[in-house]
Amino acid sequence: MITKNQIGLDPQKTKILAERLNELLANYQVFYMNTRGYHWNIKGDNFFELHLKFEELYNDSLVKIDEIAERVLTLGHTPLHTFSDYIGHAKIDQDRNVTLGKEAIKNILKAYAKLLPLEREILSISEGSADEGTNALMSDYIREQEKSIWMYSSYLG
Ligand SMILES: [Fe+2]
């Protein structure tokens, strides 16, 4: 008989999922700070439009950061919660002094190119673990980001 954890899932698979979710959390934390930087430092004709857009984006990241961290806890593990751990685990680069709207948007697209494969990897593990909670969360993120990629790419023309 396989021992299950407190929410009825395989503890070994859940551990792998929690590690990947922590990696995703670290990436979102860097993405969050990058988008705050764009919101603050952006200059030029589209300032008002992009300043608001980036605020919407970092607020969305904050919601996801909390959802991912609490999913890690729900799976019975501990979410990363220090800046040094985030930097150590994130694949998204930290941005500094981005003032051009198009550069910020290109960097957002580059960040999605790192977030999406990781979310798809988590989705494939959660599918194989009957972890519907993580599965549903990843499905939502993937669908939203695919749409965002279309929109930000359209902005670039
Ligand atoms: Fe602000």
The model's pLDDT over 36-69, given as tens digits with 9 standing for 90+, comes to 999 999 999 999 999 999 999 999 999 999 999 9
Q: Is residue 2 in a domain? A: no
Distance 46 CA to ligand 1 centre (A): 15
Instruction: Report d(CA 28, CA 22) in Å as an integer.
Output: 10
pLDDT > 90? residue 87: yes
* Residue 114 scores a pLDDT above 80: yes
Q: What's the gap in Å between 51 CA and the centre of ligand 1?
A: 8
Residue-range definition of the domain harbouring residue 47 = 11-156
**What is Dmax (Cα atoms) for the chain?**
64
Residue 1 lies in a domain: no
Eight-state DSSP code of residue 4: -
SS (H, E, C) 37-80: HHHHHCCCCCHHHHHHHHHHHHHHHHHHHHHHHHHHHHCCCCCC
- CATH number of the domain enclosing 119: 1.20.1260.10
- Structural domain count, the chain: 1
Residue 114 lies in a domain: yes
CB 72 within 8 A of CB 21: yes
Rounded average pLDDT over 75-83: 97
Q: Are 54 and 38 in contact (CB under 8 A)?
A: yes
Q: What separation in Å is there between the alpha carbon of 123 and the centre of ligand 1?
A: 33
Q: Is residue 4 part of a domain?
A: no
Whether 36 and 56 have beta carbons less than 8 Å apart is answered as: no
Distance 77 CA to ligand 1 centre (A): 33
Whether residue 82 lies inside any domain: the answer is yes
Determine, yes or no, domain membership for 74: yes
For residue 156, give both structure tokens: 């670039």
Measured in Å, residue 36 CA sits from the centre of ligand 1 at 8
Predicted local distance difference test score (pLDDT) of residue 1:
59
- The pLDDT, as a whole number, for residue 15 is 95
pLDDT at 93: 96
pLDDT at 2 over 80: no
In a domain, 34, yes or no: yes
Mean of the per-residue pLDDT values of the chain: 96
Residue 28 counted as domain residue: yes
For ligand 1, the distance from its centroid to the CA atom of residue 55, given in whole angstroms, is 7
